[in-house]
Amino acid sequence: MSQNYRGADDITAVAVIGAGLIGSGWIATFLANGLAVSVFDPSPDAEADARERLDNAWPLIERLGLPPRADRSALSFHATVEEALARADFVQENVPERLDLKMALYRELDGHAAPDVLIASSTSSFAITDLQKACTHPQRCLLGHPINPVHLVPLVEIAGGETTAPAAIDAAIAFYTRLGKKPARLQREVFGHVANRLAAAMFQEAVHLVAEGVIGAAALDDVIRYGPALKWVIQGQYLTYHTSGGAQGIAGFLDHFGPGQMRRWRDLGRPNLTEAATRDKIVAGVEQEAAGRSVGEITAAQDEALVALRRLFG
């Protein structure tokens, strides 16, 4: 069983399996870095939709500074997985979040990709341990979970399953770093990974506070935007509390504010998203906050702001 995987500088062609919102973001990212991209997606509209998303993404990527080797023409769509993987040095899987579908697909990917080619999954929740069970070469299967929009947000979470080779994880981190990504290596698997779990914890209390009438949806978003998120984007959670602990740093913060934190934890809500009254209140609040703007319009404004932040923070 090979422990040698194609290095970051040896990867010139990538197969993207699944060309939806996440897959399209990966397509844009790979093309922007001068890689040839071969795509498989069985949807009859997949190619047209992916090319439209690429048209929308490319001007934003250009403003971030395209490397000289970027080539939009190095994109091809294929009728089968085997054709898409024929010359691939790396595989990025992005099919819908159905475990049975992903497991069957991994068996097929493993059968067609050369043994030294890494197979990364964008899955937002599933464990690689489950996906690699049917593979002959499970050592090269790993998590490469991005944040949408993939071409603008640098984070990618990296993790292996029970049989993933450490060398495969190291090779993936080197490759994603070459793309300008910021890999975060998980030390063990956990359902939902890290970014989505943190977001879920925040959303849980956000739903509770709105459902209980403590605050409206728009005002809650302002609390986040104009409050803690300003420091989070600079230094994350732990360093934010480190700077809140005075000269003693995080130790001082835990000594002074730890008991209050635990009291708040005990008081956090457990809202039910299937409850009609809760759902209706959230939907009404968000629609009021959107103020008639379409999802597309809000997304465009979001992406413009993301470009500005990326240029500010590098």
CA 299 – CA 86 distance, rounded (Å): 35
Residue 69: predicted pLDDT: 81
* Tens digit of each residue's pLDDT (9 = 90 or more) over 32-64: 999 999 999 999 999 999 999 999 999 999 999
Residue 67: predicted pLDDT: 79
Mean pLDDT of all residues belonging to the chain: 96
* Tens digit of each residue's pLDDT (9 = 90 or more) over 172-191: 999 999 999 999 999 999 99
Residue 158 pLDDT greater than 90, yes or no: yes
Cβ proximity of 207 and 282 under 8 Å: yes
Paired sense of beta strands 141-146 and 155-160, if any: antiparallel
Q: What is the pTM of this model?
A: 0.94
pLDDT class of 295 with cuts at 50, 70, 90: very high
Residue 66: predicted pLDDT: 84
Mean pLDDT value across residues 112-123: 97
> What CATH number matches the domain at 8-185, 3.40.50.720, 3.40.1190.20, 3.40.50.450, 3.40.50.2300?
3.40.50.720
Residue 1: predicted pLDDT: 41
CA atoms within 13 A on the CB side of 131: 34
Residue in this structure with the two tokens 């409850």, named with its chain if needed: 275
Q: How many CB atoms lie within 10 A of CB 18?
A: 26
CATH level 3 topology of 195-313: N-(1-d-carboxylethyl)-l-norvaline Dehydrogenase; domain 2 (1.10.1040)
CA 180 – CA 251 distance, rounded (Å): 34
* Tens digit of each residue's pLDDT (9 = 90 or more) over 201-229: 999 999 999 999 999 999 999 999 999 99
Residue 68 pLDDT greater than 80, yes or no: no
Domain with CATH 1.10.1040.10 in the chain: 195-313
* Tens digit of each residue's pLDDT (9 = 90 or more) over 244-259: 999 999 999 999 999 9
Domain with CATH 3.40.50.720 in the chain: 8-185
* Tens digit of each residue's pLDDT (9 = 90 or more) over 256-279: 999 999 999 999 999 999 999 999
Cβ proximity of 39 and 77 under 8 Å: yes
